[in-house]
Structure 1
């Protein structure tokens, strides 16, 4: 396959997080395996929030805003990734609610100009004791507002 990936607009919101595709991430046809995209997006998301002080260190009760669960994940593939190397994940928030959020992402070239896949994921903040929805902290919400897409 030699399909041209669509060009992305200039990065004016969110964050571009570098990721690496390794040779063993490719399938038998030499394409990035479809199951690797969510994994690479998750790693980028984790890095972004760790940079903002939100991290899970083994204790759900102490995890605070890191105690959350995926409610929905959607992805569409636009062009094949055919080589190992440096790429990026562009992350942003489409919605920041009281107990949930929706973030958008693009799996793209390292400079963000070429899009290979795009999607969204819905997260729900959980109370560690009850596993019921719980509000995000004000610190998390302040950090999240910095990631909101302007037209969201």
Structure 2
């Protein structure tokens, strides 16, 4: 059964996107290499934002909201991934500011029930000419509001 064929999980916030772990993602001990988690999370975010028309096509001057940089990345590993195959990344926004945001993520089983790693990442939107912080567009903010985690 593929990740696409699984029933949709019930999430109270954010999105769950399928990802694949390949044999060459595993380290010498047969576990998902620690550097692959952020890469797989990045791929899931890229797919999600592309659904909203936000993408980088090679030109920073026209990249709009895709012109952003990572300010901080925090990740904690909770259980080892010891096999290749179908997994998922649960994504949400913790904070959506004027020029920055903090998103949360969980690397998990396809149904979202088992968490292997979790973390946060802070992004800052940049003006491509000055490389200084710039405001997110209203289109981006509208899409981002749909991903905000409710206050506990």
Q: TM-score range by the shorter chain?
A: over 0.9
Write the distance in 2 (CA, Å) between the matches of 1:129 and 1:50.
23
Structure 1 position 24 matched with structure 2 position 14: no
Task: Show the counterpart of 1:148.
Answer: 148
Tell me how far 1:109 sits from its aligned partner.
0.2
Tell me how far 1:151 sits from its aligned partner.
1.1
Q: Can you give the 5+ residue segments of structure 1 that lack an aligned partner in the other structure? A: 1-9
Task: Show the counterpart of 1:119.
Answer: 119
The DSSP-based 3-state class of the residue aligned with 2:144 is helix
Structure 1 segments of 4+ aligned residues over 6 angstroms from their partners: none
Write the distance in 2 (CA, Å) between the matches of 1:52 and 1:76.
29
Structure 1 position 57 matched with structure 2 position 61: no
Write the distance in 1 (CA, Å) between the matches of 2:22 and 2:151.
35
TM-score between the two structures when normalised by the length of structure 1:
0.93
Task: Show the counterpart of 2:7.
Answer: none
Task: Show the counterpart of 1:132.
Answer: 132
TM-score between the two structures when normalised by the length of structure 2:
0.93
- Kindly report which structure 2 residues correspond to 1:79-90, keeping only aligned pairs within 5 A, or say none: 79-90=79-90
Task: Show the counterpart of 1:3.
Answer: none
Tell me how far 1:94 sits from its aligned partner.
0.2
Write the distance in 2 (CA, Å) between the matches of 1:133 and 1:18.
32
Task: Show the counterpart of 1:33.
Answer: 33
Write the distance in 1 (CA, Å) between the matches of 2:80 and 2:13.
25
CA RMSD of aligned residues (A): 1.2
Tell me how far 1:11 sits from its aligned partner.
1.7
Task: Show the counterpart of 1:4.
Answer: none
Write the distance in 2 (CA, Å) between the matches of 1:12 and 1:85.
26
